[in-house]
Amino acid sequence: MTVHLIPPVSSLGLHGPDAEPLTEGPRYVRTARMTRWHRVRSGVRYGTGRTVYSLWCTGSVADDQFLSREELPEGDLVCGPCDGRAVGAGQEPAGPPGRTLAFRPRDLAPPTICPGSRSERLTQAIPPGTVGRCLACEDLHPIRAMGGPYNPRAAIVQHAPGRLVDPCPFHRWKYLQPSADGGLACSCGRVLRAPDQSAAA
Ligand SMILES: [Zn+2]
Ligand SMILES: [Zn+2]
Ligand SMILES: [Zn+2]
């Protein structure tokens, strides 16, 4: 278990609060049916005890139904898409000699437009209501009336993120929502900022 894994980003929303993202995993994996070794991008341990590793090239291996190796014998085949992405994303300290591989996984970088922008739910109005605090990044920005006559709302204007809350390991900043007690959560149920950490508390 020596390779650092990236967060198991998913847009499917299938990961409940009992799913635990894994930060380390095996370097090379293959099942009996695979024709070459693949590389692990991310891992999740579910509340049921099931562990699933996602591969860089799509696909996955689960539980103990695969082989894993730290080093491979000369001549063993390694999946090119997996290896290039793993190295390019920084999973290995050293890549192939003579060139620097680059690969930026989708959805990992913070958004350039704050997810609290124009969101009524993520706007915390500060009396008298012309300025609001963004629940996603805690910046203060003007509140404007927006939406049409059929869905009017008052929300904070579009802005670049300030100090963004640490993201959900599965859904990043996509599904932020205020929790009932004044904190911030992901729609999957993970608490991202407890109420007492809020600058507005
Ligand atoms: Zn692969
Ligand atoms: Zn913001
Ligand atoms: Zn989530």
The tens digit of pLDDT for each residue in 140-158 reads: 999 999 988 888 999 999 9
Q: What is the mean pLDDT of the chain?
A: 90
In a domain, 105, yes or no: no
Using a 10 angstrom Cβ sphere, with 0-12 exposed, 13-18 middle and 19 or more buried, the burial of residue 195 is middle
- Ligand number with the minimum distance to the CA of 192: 3
What confidence category does residue 16 fall into, taking pLDDT thresholds of 50, 70 and 90? Answer: confident
Distance 25 CA to ligand 1 centre (A): 15
The domain boundary residue, chosen from 62, 88, 114 = 88
Phi and psi at residue 120, in whole multiples of 5°?
A: -65, -40
- Both 66 and 141 in a single domain? no
In a domain, 111, yes or no: no
Give residue 197's pLDDT. 56
30: which residues sit within 8 A by CB, 6+ positions away? 36, 37, 38, 61, 66, 67
- For 140-146, which contacts have Cβ atoms below 8 Å and span 24 or more sequence positions? 146/118
The most confident of the ranges 30-44, 92-106, 173-187 is 30-44
- Domain-ending residue, one of 88, 104, 133: 88
The domain of 133 spans 123-197
Distance CA 29, CA 20 (A): 20
The token duo for 119 is 């969101």
Q: Which long-range contacts (CB under 8 A, 24 or more apart) does 20-24 make?
A: 20/44, 20/45, 20/46, 21/169, 21/170, 22/51, 22/53
**C-alpha of residue 69 to centroid of ligand 3, in Å:** 31
Q: How confident is the model at residue 67 (pLDDT cuts 50, 70, 90)?
A: very high
pLDDT at residue 66 above 80?
yes
Ligand 3 centroid to Cα of residue 50, in Å, is 19
How many angstroms does the Cα of residue 76 sit away from the middle of ligand 1?
14
Residue 118 is assigned to a structural domain of this protein: no
Query: Which residue's structure tokens are 């063993």?
Result: 76
Asked if 108 and 6 count as a contact pair (C-beta separation under 8 A), the reply is yes
* Per-residue pLDDT, 1: 54
Distance CA 74, CA 65 (A): 24
Alpha helices in the chain (DSSP H): 80-88
Same-domain check for residues 133 and 66:
no
CA torsion sign, 121 to 177 to 167 to 60?
A: negative
Total domains present in the chain? 2
Does residue 115 lie within any of the structural domains? no
Does pLDDT of 165 surpass 90?
A: yes
Does residue 11 register a pLDDT over 90? no
Per-residue confidence at 105, pLDDT binned at 50, 70, 90?
Answer: confident
Ligand 1 centroid, distance to 82 Cα (angstroms) = 4
- What local confidence, expressed as pLDDT, does residue 201 receive? 43
The answer to whether residue 88 scores a pLDDT higher than 90 is yes
Residues 138, 182 within the same domain: yes
Q: How far is the CA of 83 from the centre of ligand 2 (A)?
A: 36
Which of 88, 110, 141 delimits the end of a domain? 88
**What is the 4 CA–ligand 2 centroid distance (Å)?**
30
Does one domain contain both 134 and 83?
Answer: no
Give distance in angstroms: CA of 120 to centre of ligand 2.
12
pLDDT value of position 79: 97
The ligand placed nearest to the CA atom of residue 169 is: 3
Residues 11 and 84 in one domain: yes
State the CB neighbour count (10 A cutoff) for residue 118: 18
CA 77 – ligand 3 centroid, Å? 36
Q: How many angstroms separate the alpha carbon of residue 119 from the centre of ligand 1?
A: 39
Q: Is 153 exposed, middle or buried (0-12, 13-18, 19+ CB in 10 A)?
A: middle
